[in-house]
Amino acid sequence: MPTISVLDSHLHYEDTGAPGTGPTWVFLHGNPVSSHLWRKVLPSVQRLGRCLTPDLIGMGQSGKPDMAYGYDDHARYLAAWFDAMDLQDVVLVGIDWGASLAFDWARRHAHRVRGIAFMETIVKPMAWADFPAAVRPRFEAFRTPGLGEQLALAQNQFLAGSLTATVLTPLSAADRAVYEAPYPTPASRRPLLAWPRAMPIEGSPADVVARVEAYGDWLASSHAVPKLLLTFTGSPTLMIGPAMEAWCRENIARLTVQACGDAGHLAPEDQPVRIADALLAWADTALLPAAIASGSRPAGSHRTSA
């Protein structure tokens, strides 16, 4: 399995597709899963170029250094991975915290970004009213000192609940085992608890709110970078519903929106074919090098589809 040394640890990644045929596509997962999330999407999109799917630090088969696993930690290790891999012409595809980290990295390395596709993620600081009501009590519990440690670390409730509640198509025993394998002990589950506590809700934590505000400004002003939002319906766990989609249409430059059917929050488990088809169509239009070089679409224009 490919790994590469990063800072004081290592990151695992899968490397597929055809290097040299186009930009490098980097697929970033969120919490509590791993690069395994993209397994049913990748076969259909590998003609687009080299496809890399890393595991975030502390997750999947990547290393587990002794640290807090805050947003800054993940951003540092991911940035070091991009540099160690010498990735220069990149299309980012992200979900959940993986998309948030993609936005953050793109803001700081815009000259290396060809485009960004995203789904089910954090596009702006939130109030509890913006949060999916079905999972709010669960997240409030995980954010409570002491109680969160008991639930997520000792009892492993975050992982177990997420793998059930955030998909419409039940996971097979084999796929659940892949997602569960990195977290056999309470200490190994620290990344799973750190992520819900990093959600930028009601102004806290301030460092994450600042990062989200910064990349929000970049998303609004980066007219040269095509962006694709994939949306879904049919689940109470979705982070981007109609109201947030409308916000994205108004506040993200050069955005295409593509509906991809019913899915839970871990949408690639439910709609891998629809996601792959949307990426292929977007690549054949918005990502054409000639269109990007000429800036043929007016600054701030929004190309959307239902």
Q: What is the pLDDT of residue 305?
A: 43
Q: What is the pLDDT of residue 299?
A: 34
Q: Looking at 14, 36, 265, 270, which residue is catalytic?
A: 265
Residue 270 near residue 262 (C-beta atoms within 8 A): yes
DSSP string, 192-212: HHHHHHH--BTTBSHHHHHHH
Q: Is the pLDDT of residue 245 over 60?
A: yes
Average pLDDT over residues 72-85: 98
- When pLDDT is cut at 50, 70 and 90, the band that residue 287 belongs to is confident
CATH code: domain of residue 57: 3.40.50.1820
Q: Quick check: is 72 catalytic?
A: no
Mean pLDDT of the chain: 93
Average pLDDT over residues 153-170: 96
Q: Is residue 231 part of a domain?
A: yes
- When pLDDT is cut at 50, 70 and 90, the band that residue 66 belongs to is very high
Residue 33 near residue 94 (C-beta atoms within 8 A): no
Q: Looking at 14, 55, 96, 270, which residue is catalytic?
A: 96
Q: Is the pLDDT of residue 204 over 60?
A: yes
Average pLDDT over residues 232-240: 96
- When pLDDT is cut at 50, 70 and 90, the band that residue 289 belongs to is low
Q: Is residue 303 part of a domain?
A: no
Q: Is residue 306 part of a domain?
A: no
Q: Is the pLDDT of residue 303 over 50?
A: no
Q: Measured between alpha carbons, how far is 81 from 105 in angstroms, rounded to an integer?
A: 11
Q: Find the domain containing 83 and state its range.
A: 3-294
> Cα dihedral angle (220, 222, 226, 230), rounded to 10 degrees?
-30
Q: Is residue 300 part of a domain?
A: no
- When pLDDT is cut at 50, 70 and 90, the band that residue 1 belongs to is low
DSSP string, the chain: --EEEETTEEEEEEEEE-TTSSPEEEEE--TT--GGGGTTTHHHHGGGSEEEEEPPTTSTTS---SS---HHHHHHHHHHHHHHTT--SEEEEEETHHHHHHHHHHHH-GGGEEEEEEES---S-B-GGGS-GGGHHHHHHHTSTTHHIIIIIIS-HHHHHHHHHT-SSPPPHHHHHHHHTT--STGGGHHHHHHHHH--BTTBSHHHHHHHHHHHHHHHH-TTS-EEEEEEES-TT-SS-HHHHHHHHHHSTTEEEEEEEE--SSHHHH-HHHHHHHHHHHHHHTT-HHHHHHT-SPTT------
Query: Which range, of 15-29, 154-168, 238-252, 278-292, averages the lowest pLDDT?
Result: 278-292
Q: What is the pLDDT of residue 225?
A: 96
Q: Is residue 256 part of a domain?
A: yes
Q: Is residue 153 part of a domain?
A: yes
Q: Is residue 169 part of a domain?
A: yes
Q: Is the pLDDT of residue 92 over 70?
A: yes
Residues with Cβ < 8 Å from 90, sequence gap 6 or more?
23, 24, 25, 26, 82, 112, 113, 114
Q: What is the pLDDT of residue 21?
A: 75
- When pLDDT is cut at 50, 70 and 90, the band that residue 17 belongs to is confident
Q: Quick check: is 217 catalytic?
A: no
Our count of domains for the chain comes to 1
Q: Is the pLDDT of residue 302 over 90?
A: no
Q: What is the pLDDT of residue 99?
A: 98
Q: Looking at 14, 55, 73, 120, which residue is catalytic?
A: 120
Q: Is residue 305 part of a domain?
A: no
Q: Quick check: is 265 catalytic?
A: yes
Q: Is the pLDDT of residue 292 over 80?
A: no
Taking only the tens place, the pLDDT of each residue in 105-124 is: 999 999 999 999 999 999 99
